[in-house]
């Protein structure tokens, strides 16, 4: 016999717990929130800023689906206008930049839908202000926004919620920083240790041994301690001076130096671990130990295909699901990030590919001048074709190998009945 469970029965299986943002304990005395870690941990900020900046600069484009094989870009659609100016005080770049920052730090990001003078607007709300409300474990009925002056409950249909995967709660994402607790704590301890070395004078890391029974009265001891402190404390009057040991004294090295503790290696490892959690190739954030020109170029492509691609798809699908119905319920409009601009290669590579594809020059003089912000010239809209480039001849002006030219000459003779005659300016004759 078939068994059918209603949605309400499944929703009542578990009581969701209100989410909060726990602090990450770095030492027995210090805990820091995700926001504080972003401010003070350089590895976290480097990686998160890298993600946000590279996604925010892509730009969001809107298209109308004309048919299965045709589409046209639209800039006058209400959705396109909304994301061109999400609210009166935020640019599209800063708006997308803050979204990716929140997703990378919290695995949650929020926009609230409000009405302003320009109509529907979207406003970013810090995830640390948000608490999901409701009795269902798979969806949220309301979101409570709590600030220093009180709170307000916003219906779920007025909130745009971006979230990642959480093994325990489908309503809430799980921050990648949770996986970095040990690495961040170790990095904090290493930074504190290095600071202590500098504050106490890194030149003297050990102790002084005196022979047993040597005569050393209180006056001599106090004088020696004061002299040593003036030379080997960071604020000493004679810091950096050469120590003078009294009779029978011996200096004993008794502390690890930064080299012994492999401080630089540990710091590099911490950055690599943070980059690994965010799936970023190490050379992209300045770790060039095994980088070459060829593999960096390939990893740059992998960055936009494998690292940023999932973020872009997540953002686009949430916009289609949670924002587009509020401005247009039709299914023929959709958005995409302008990712192709990042994958086309350099200008030289694009020019060579296009020239080979079309079989000749493809830019007019005025188009080239416009690229360099120069004014138009008369007669500059005509495409100049060199005399050695004709249809059925050379594929492009750069195709000047002897074999290709001989083949082109034979084809010309077959078409025109005239053998090609060499001129003084031709690179290859005959």
* Contacting residues for 57 by C-beta, under 8 A, at least 6 apart: 93
Cα–Cα distance for residue pair 403/197, rounded to 1 Å: 71
- Which pTM value belongs to this model? 0.69
* pLDDT given at position 83: 94
* pLDDT given at position 317: 95
Could you say which residues of the chain have pLDDT below 50?
A: 1, 202, 262, 395, 404, 412, 415-416, 418-430
The vertex-37 CA angle with 200 and 49, nearest 5°, equals 115
SS3 254: coil
The per-residue b/e assignment along 134-171, b for 16 or more CB within 10 angstroms, e otherwise, is eebbeebebbebeeeeeeeebebeebbbbbbeeeebeb
Q: What does the DSSP assignment read for 362-404?
A: ---HHHHHHHTT----TTTTSPP--TT--TTS-SSTT---HHH
Delimit the domains of the chain by residue range.
9-200+263-343, 203-256, 345-385, 389-430
- pLDDT for 177-191, tens place per residue? 988 888 778 777 777
* pLDDT given at position 421: 45
**201: alpha, beta or left, given left = phi > 0 and alpha = psi -120 to 50?**
left
* pLDDT given at position 255: 56
The per-residue b/e assignment along 294-331, b for 16 or more CB within 10 angstroms, e otherwise, is eeeeebeebbbeebbeebbeebeebbeebbbebbeeee
**Residue whose token pair is 């971006």:** 162
* pLDDT given at position 346: 59
- pLDDT for 57-109, tens place per residue? 988 999 998 887 788 999 889 999 999 999 999 999 999 999 999 999 999 99
Task: Report the side by side order of strands in the sheet with 142-147.
Answer: 130-133, 142-147, 150-155
């Amino acid at each position: 016999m078939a068994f059918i469970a209603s949605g309400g029965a499944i929703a009542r299986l578990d009581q969701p717990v209100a989410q909060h943002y726990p602090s990450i304990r770095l030492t027995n005395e210090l805990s820091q929130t995700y926001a504080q870690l972003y401010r003070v941990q350089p590895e976290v900020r480097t990686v998160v800023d890298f993600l946000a900046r590279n996604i925010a600069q892509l730009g969001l484009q809107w298209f109308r689906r004309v048919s299965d094989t045709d589409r046209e870009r639209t800039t006058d659609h209400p959705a396109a206008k909304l994301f061109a100016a999400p609210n009166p005080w935020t640019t599209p770049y800063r708006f997308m930049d803050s979204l990716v920052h929140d997703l990378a730090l919290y695995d949650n990001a929020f926009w609230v839908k409000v009405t302003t003078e320009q109509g529907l607007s979207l406003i970013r709300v810090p995830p640390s202000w948000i608490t999901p409300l409701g009795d269902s474990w798979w969806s949220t009925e309301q979101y409570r926004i709590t600030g220093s002056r009180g709170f307000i409950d916003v219906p779920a249909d007025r909130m745009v919620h971006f979230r990642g995967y959480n093994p325990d709660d489908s309503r809430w994402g799980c921050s990648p920083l949770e996986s970095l607790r040990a690495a961040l704590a170790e990095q904090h301890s290493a930074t504190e240790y290095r600071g202590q070395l500098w504050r106490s004078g890194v030149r003297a890391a050990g102790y002084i041994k005196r022979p047993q029974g040597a005569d050393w009265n209180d006056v001599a001891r106090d004088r020696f301690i004061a002299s040593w402190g003036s030379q080997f404390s960071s604020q000493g009057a004679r810091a950096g001076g050469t120590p003078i040991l009294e009779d029978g004294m011996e200096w004993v090295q008794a502390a690890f130096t930064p080299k012994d503790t492999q401080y630089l290696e540990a710091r590099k490892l911490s950055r690599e671990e943070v980059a690994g959690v965010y799936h970023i190739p190490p050379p992209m954030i300045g770790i060039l130990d095994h980088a070459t020109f060829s593999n960096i170029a390939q990893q740059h492509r992998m960055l936009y295909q494998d690292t940023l691609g999932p973020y872009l798809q997540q953002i686009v699908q949430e916009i289609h699901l949670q924002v587009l119905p509020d401005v247009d319920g039709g299914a023929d409009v959709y958005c995409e990030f302008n990712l192709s601009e990042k994958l086309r290669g350099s200008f030289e590579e694009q020019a060579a590919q296009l020239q080979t594809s079309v079989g000749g020059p493809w830019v007019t003089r005025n188009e080239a001048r416009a690229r360099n912000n120069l004014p138009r010239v008369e007669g500059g809209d005509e495409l100049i074709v060199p005399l050695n480039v004709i249809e059925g001849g050379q594929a492009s002006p750069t195709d000047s190998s002897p074999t290709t030219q001989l083949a082109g000459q034979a084809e010309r003779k077959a078409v025109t009945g005239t053998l090609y005659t060499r001129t003084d300016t031709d690179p290859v004759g005959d």
